Structure 1
Amino acid sequence: MVFLLGGCTSLYQKGQNQFLSGEYQLAINTFAKVLAEDPENKEANFYVAESYRLSNRIEQSAPYYQKTLGEDENYEQYFRLGQSLKSQGKFEEAEEAFKKAKELTLDDTFQAELDREITNLKKVEEIKEYWPYIQIENYKLLNTPGLDYGPILSEDFLYFTSSRQASGLYPSTGQGYTKLFRTRADGIKVDVQNVQELPEFRNEEGLNQADIAISPDGNTIIYARGNSTSGKDLPDVALFASYFRGAAYTQPIWMPVNEDEFYWNSNPAFSPDGNELYFSSNRPGGYGGNDLYKATKLANGDFGNPVNMGPQINTPGNEMYPRPAPDGKFFFSSDGHPGLGKLDLFVAEKTDAGWVVKNLGPNVNSVGDDFALSFTKYPLEGFLSSNREGGQGGDDIYYFEDKTPKAKIINVFLTVTTKEKKEDGSEPILPQTRVALYDSLNKMTGGDFSNQNGTIRFTLTPNQKFALIASKNGYFSKSITYNTTGKTPKPEDLIQDVTNVTLDTTIVLEPLILERSIVLDNIYYDLNMADIRPDAALELDKLVKILKDNPSIRIELSSHTDARASDAYNDALSQRRAESAVAYLVSKGIVATRLIAKGYGKRQLIIQNAQTEEEHQVNRRTEFKVIEITN
């Protein structure tokens, strides 16, 4: 947008010349004098607003853009006003400005850009914390009233950009020219007393040196260099490389990835293996302002053929400060994705459908510029840069730590006592019994022999199901399930960091004696029938478990009748019942060769001359006995 300055004075002309030369802070100072005499001057307000925008201070331009509104309102005025309001976190007012801008243009490109801005504003409330327990602190002892940003850690040194010790002011921003510095650091613990200009490297005067990247082997530095006061220097910001040879760095070299001296190239970052270089550029062919690019190392060591990272990462806005992570995630800053103000920090995660971009959330980002994320212990701690409110100067360095609350621990100790069943019904201790522990996935997680007191101790986890199998020569092996669900305090009720819960259970083993008959209780059949009734099936399931716990035994399963009816009838009925029981066991997965069905009729009465129904029931029984133990 161009305003004709009627009655142009030398003061107007001076301000215009400063603006056109990119000396935005000087232009602001000059036009401020005009506005002191004529606060409503639309032309002077426009140049101040644009100077703030072009020097990355658009949040300060809103009142000046508002003064330019009037009869000749146009799309750009409201669009820039909306951007300024958004950068202040005034999202509702920004949306109104964008909607007004839509009414003032028919251009499809402008309409699409405004739709994107409005859509992004509506998504602000959906932004969630990516790292819920990250805490960020201003590194006050490291920062200065000027600019301090872009920290990265390499070989126990922290490297960063700063305007401290500046020999002159950059006329675009009014801040000092920046240089490259370093100091010793142990993670986020920085030696703030011994910050020095990058040794073995000559910081140049009268221009900005910034955004240092260091190769994983520490032998190559790449940084952004530009904004020179000399008319003979390069016209824009470019990437330069310097190599450590012997005791010093080589003379910096203009890198081929710049491609053109009139392109803006900055924010370099190496991939974790050093074979790729990422950077931001405004070169033609991108998706908007500054886009992110990736260049691969060539055989000669140079980086060539930069590739745009595509529309899932790049937007019509600005994408800057790339930071590839060792697990494949890609961190960067953007004002084009839905955010909280100006530049926000984002992470892109690779999926089958490409990149999925997520805002790192309101506990990391602010209304201001948030950028230059780097890690000292991925992803638990590191640094970032921000010009958020409450800082020491312009851009400040912040450190962050993951403060996830330490999980309270519940130790579940289960004491298992092993005993044996005697014929008289007593259950004395059975020492030296092997007990094995299996988790819910049937994976063995522990096992040992019970001690002389018949006890063994296991450590379990809360709210899980386990199986215990006890075995000893001469005894039936036995398995039981044990569930810790509901047997420990709720996590929200825990007070101490460590809570011990002691539980106990008992496993009783029965002697395994060849040819010794064992009665299966409650195996009933309907009169003159051999079908397995549901109540009998429940009892036979116990035998199934014994057979599965003891896979090396073969058994005879026998059926007996009372003395009533003929021998032939009782023999046939008992045989059918025994075979029916064996068939049931086979249906439950027991191999048929392990089973023999035998009907004894009334030939093995327990009570001779039974008179009562109860006595007949004792004789009418089902038994099993172990007839063989295989290896």
Structure 2
Amino acid sequence: MRYLPYLFLLILSSCSYTAKVTDGATAIDRKQYDVAVDMLKREFKKAKSRKEKGEIALNLGIALRETEDDAAAIDWFQTAYDNNAGPPALREKAAALKRLERYEEAIQVYTDLGFEIGSKYEFRKDISGAELAMAYKEAEEAGKPRPFTVAATDFNTRQADYAPVVFEDRLIFTSDRSASSGEETFKWTGRGFTDLFIVDPQARGASVDAFDARLNTEDHEGTPAFSADGAYMIFTRCASPAKKEDAWCGLYRSERVGEGWGPAKQLPFIKNGINYMHPALSADGKRLYFSALMEDGWGGYDIYVSNLQDSGEWGDPILMNRAINTQGNEQFPSLDGDTLYFASDGLEGLGGLDIFRTYPMANGRFSAPKNLGPPVNSGADDFGFTILRREGSGLEATMTGYFSSARSGGAGSDDIYAYTRRVIPPPPEDPTPIVYRNVLDVTVVEKIYEDPADPKSRVLGVKPVPNATIIASIGEQSRTVNTNAEGILSLVLVDDQNYSFRAEREEYLVAEGRFSSRDLPRDPEAPEQRYELELELEKIFRNQEVVLKNIYYDFEESFIREDAQPTLNELTALLNRNPDIRIELGSHTDCRGPKAYNQNLSQARAQAAVDYLINQGVAADRLTARGYGKDQPIEDCLCDRCTEEEHQRNRRTTFRILD
């Protein structure tokens, strides 16, 4: 996972950089990775047991990974595995090897891991991506021409420089270099917060300047998009709505005022509690593309488009289709006319985010996304593709521009690279008639627990569930089929249909999923496309406590806060999918305070959760409320020596399936 200066994949909590940290594990928990490194190295030297050494080494590897020192992280992940940290340590080692483009070693580790956890399925995409990278390398060695040549720019620093955008022949990019605004240190990276910077990329040794003092603040700013006439810009800002509240990333608009820029205003469709980022504007200014993590998405971050209304406001976001969005992350969209470039870790790639290209065809559908391949894409994250200019025409045309990458060998954690693209003549046309075919592989999986009898134990991965029942529906029509021995149901898709799937198996909770075949590509260069959908069945563990995350209460209060409602809504959906189960909702306090008071408070909190579910339509006779007070802590610490994090983990809301 990349850190927040990439402006994706996380919610930045204000406590990450305001609360005091005294040990490495707490630093990791608060995402203060730069702080954690030295702490964990000292703690490892003092550790006595193998278990303790394994836990510290794994955390140290993660801290080095997040501060972009994969070469050192690999050794610590191996040390963690040698000290009983288990398969998660090897998984991390394999991913680091892949980012460093040591593909053969990565494939071997992934293969060994599959045998160890009992699921070769878990690492199939990691292995296929490494094999693809090796195939590219073999093609290059065989003399096959590459369309791209790349070189690092001379204005990269030891910090993060990324997401270049061309504006009036100059380059605007995002960076946490030392010249960024504010005096606070972002303890994830040990560097500053991100700002926008400007440089003339064609002038060797040109100075890099802050883009605009009125837009750069002590919060994170980055990834801008400019209207074609330069009259306004839309950019990403990640800020807390109030002190000691979580920071969320939103899209902001600023108008050109003389040689500068006016106050930034958040776009009207932005909702609290959702991360929006990476805007891109069409040349006519009527479409705004961006990346967001929303409940209606296909999984991870997805690319959305908003259309400009007659009122001058941007309309509600529209989710782009499954030809582009996957169950992984799609981010950093950019436009060249009607051609869309974007980064994805869900499509087959060389490792991390890869840059893909798609465009609308004559039939109105987008073409199948094409991986730009090396040297643009690498084993690390590659993203933020932009075009500076074209020269020539036809097969002699060249295109120049920039992109960003976290590949090893650069000046800093992320660097900006210049590229030149030459058109390679296409191969002769195949006279064979084209047959278009879209196939969906629906795989039913279940979690692999470190202790198969304990759902609270560490999850090692997932494995297919053979012979599971799937009810596949298209509109009012449905049919019931079973998965094969590999847990897969393969369907040839009918165009422009909405599919829904329900997976069932005895002693498992029902799982549901959906897929849309609307506007899937009919691309002559890739007439057959395969898509994947995972349905994850949860094994029923009766009378086993499951902690509900993100349910918190105000001090000495029992009412359900707004931030707890999404988790309870998910529980409501689970109960609706499984109408035959009854559950107990339990509430626990920490160890502080009188026993009777804690007992009454916990009972009131459990009852409040039950009442919320009843108001959502769940039958009351399926629900039981029970307050446990402070009698069942999950943290093994003396009350007056527990950390605030341990107290918080003891203050939990749980459910258990009764029958």
Describe the SS at the equivalent of 1:332.
Answer: strand
Question: Does residue 285 of structure 2 align to residue 274 of structure 1?
Answer: yes
TM-superposed deviation, 1:42: 1.0
- Match of 2:149? 135
- Match of 1:155? 168
Instruction: Summarize the Cα distance change of 1:221–1:181 in structure 2 as closer, same or farther, 3 Å threshold.
Output: same
TM-superposed deviation, 1:198: 1.8
Give the one of 195, 201, 217 matched to 2:214.
201
Describe the SS at the equivalent of 1:312.
Answer: coil
Instruction: Summarize the Cα distance change of 1:237–1:25 in structure 2 as closer, same or farther, 3 Å threshold.
Output: farther
| Separation in 2, partners of 1:268, 1:76 | 35
TM-superposed deviation, 1:374: 0.6
- Match of 1:342? 352
TM-score w.r.t. the length of structure 1 is 0.54
Give the one of 32, 45, 50 matched to 1:23.
32
Instruction: Summarize the Cα distance change of 1:66–1:298 in structure 2 as closer, same or farther, 3 Å threshold.
Output: farther
- Match of 1:308? 319
Identity %: 27
TM-superposed deviation, 1:364: 2.1
- Match of 2:414? 395
Structure 1 segment 483-522 matched on structure 2, within 5 A: none
User: In structure 1, what residue type is equivalent to 2:345?
Assistant: D
- Match of 1:296? 307
CA contact (8 A) 2:54 2:83 kept: no
Give the one of 331, 339, 343 matched to 1:333.
343
- Match of 2:297? 286
- Give a deviation string over 1:431-483, Cα, whole Å, max 9, x none: xxxxxxxxxxxxxxxxxxxxxxxxxxxxxxxxxxxxxxxxxxxxxxxxxxxxx
Give the one of 322, 327, 331 matched to 1:320.
331
- Match of 2:194? 178
CA contact (8 A) 1:169 1:177 kept: yes
- Match of 2:107? 95
CA contact (8 A) 1:163 1:177 kept: yes
TM-superposed deviation, 1:126: 4.0
| Separation in 2, partners of 1:59, 1:239 | 36
Structure 1 segment 156-555 matched on structure 2, within 5 A: 156-164=169-177, 165-166=179-180, 167-183=183-199, 185=200, 188-190=201-203, 192-199=205-212, 201-205=214-218, 207-226=219-238, 231-232=243-244, 234-245=246-257, 248-261=260-273, 263-326=274-337, 328-350=338-360, 354-378=366-390, 380-402=399-421
Describe the SS at the equivalent of 2:355.
Answer: strand
| Separation in 2, partners of 1:59, 1:257 | 43
In the alignment of these two chains, the number of paired residues is 386
TM-superposed deviation, 1:320: 2.0
Give the one of 40, 44, 59 matched to 1:35.
44
| Separation in 1, partners of 2:110, 2:406 | 25
TM-superposed deviation, 1:111: 6.8
TM-superposed deviation, 1:230: 8.1
- Match of 1:422? none
Describe the SS at the equivalent of 1:45.
Answer: helix
Instruction: Summarize the Cα distance change of 1:214–1:94 in structure 2 as closer, same or farther, 3 Å threshold.
Output: same
CA contact (8 A) 1:137 1:400 kept: yes
CA contact (8 A) 2:241 2:247 kept: no
User: In structure 1, what residue type is equivalent to 2:293?
Assistant: N
Describe the SS at the equivalent of 1:295.
Answer: strand
CA contact (8 A) 1:323 1:332 kept: yes
What is the root-mean-square deviation of aligned Cα atoms in Å?
Answer: 3.5
TM-score w.r.t. the length of structure 2 is 0.52
| Separation in 2, partners of 1:283, 1:85 | 31
User: In structure 2, what residue type is equivalent to 1:135?
Assistant: T
Instruction: Summarize the Cα distance change of 1:307–1:358 in structure 2 as closer, same or farther, 3 Å threshold.
Output: same
- Give a deviation string over 1:182-230, Cα, whole Å, max 9, x none: 24x4xx514753432123634112x321112112121222222227798
CA contact (8 A) 2:301 2:329 kept: yes
- Give a deviation string over 1:96-135, Cα, whole Å, max 9, x none: 33334434557xxx87553332333333344478983432
User: In structure 2, what residue type is equivalent to 1:296?
Assistant: N
- Give a deviation string over 1:122-150, Cα, whole Å, max 9, x none: 3334447898343222221x222222222
Structure 1 segment 532-611 matched on structure 2, within 5 A: none
TM-superposed deviation, 1:59: 6.4
Give the one of 53, 58, 70 matched to 1:46.
58
User: In structure 2, what residue type is equivalent to 1:132?
Assistant: R
| Separation in 1, partners of 2:257, 2:318 | 30
Instruction: Summarize the Cα distance change of 1:386–1:302 in structure 2 as closer, same or farther, 3 Å threshold.
Output: same
Describe the SS at the equivalent of 2:235.
Answer: strand
Describe the SS at the equivalent of 2:369.
Answer: strand
User: In structure 2, what residue type is equivalent to 1:152?
Assistant: V
Instruction: Summarize the Cα distance change of 1:229–1:248 in structure 2 as closer, same or farther, 3 Å threshold.
Output: same
| Separation in 2, partners of 1:303, 1:113 | 41
Describe the SS at the equivalent of 2:413.
Answer: coil
CA contact (8 A) 1:182 1:198 kept: yes
CA contact (8 A) 2:344 2:356 kept: yes
Instruction: Summarize the Cα distance change of 1:391–1:86 in structure 2 as closer, same or farther, 3 Å threshold.
Output: closer
CA contact (8 A) 2:215 2:264 kept: no
Instruction: Summarize the Cα distance change of 1:231–1:15 in structure 2 as closer, same or farther, 3 Å threshold.
Output: farther
TM-superposed deviation, 1:318: 2.8
- Give a deviation string over 1:208-260, Cα, whole Å, max 9, x none: 21112112121222222227798446523332222224664332223344433
Describe the SS at the equivalent of 1:123.
Answer: helix
| Separation in 2, partners of 1:381, 1:404 | 12
User: In structure 2, what residue type is equivalent to 1:239?
Assistant: L
User: In structure 2, what residue type is equivalent to 1:332?
Assistant: F
- Give a deviation string over 1:396-435, Cα, whole Å, max 9, x none: 22222246799xxxxxxxxxxxxxxxxxxxxxxxxxxxxx
Comparing 69-78 with 333-342, greater Cα deviation is found at 69-78
| Separation in 2, partners of 1:277, 1:57 | 36
CA contact (8 A) 1:138 1:396 kept: yes
| Separation in 2, partners of 1:338, 1:255 | 33
- Match of 2:486? none
| Separation in 1, partners of 2:261, 2:373 | 39
- Match of 2:605? none
- Match of 2:498? none
Describe the SS at the equivalent of 1:189.
Answer: coil
| Separation in 2, partners of 1:150, 1:104 | 39
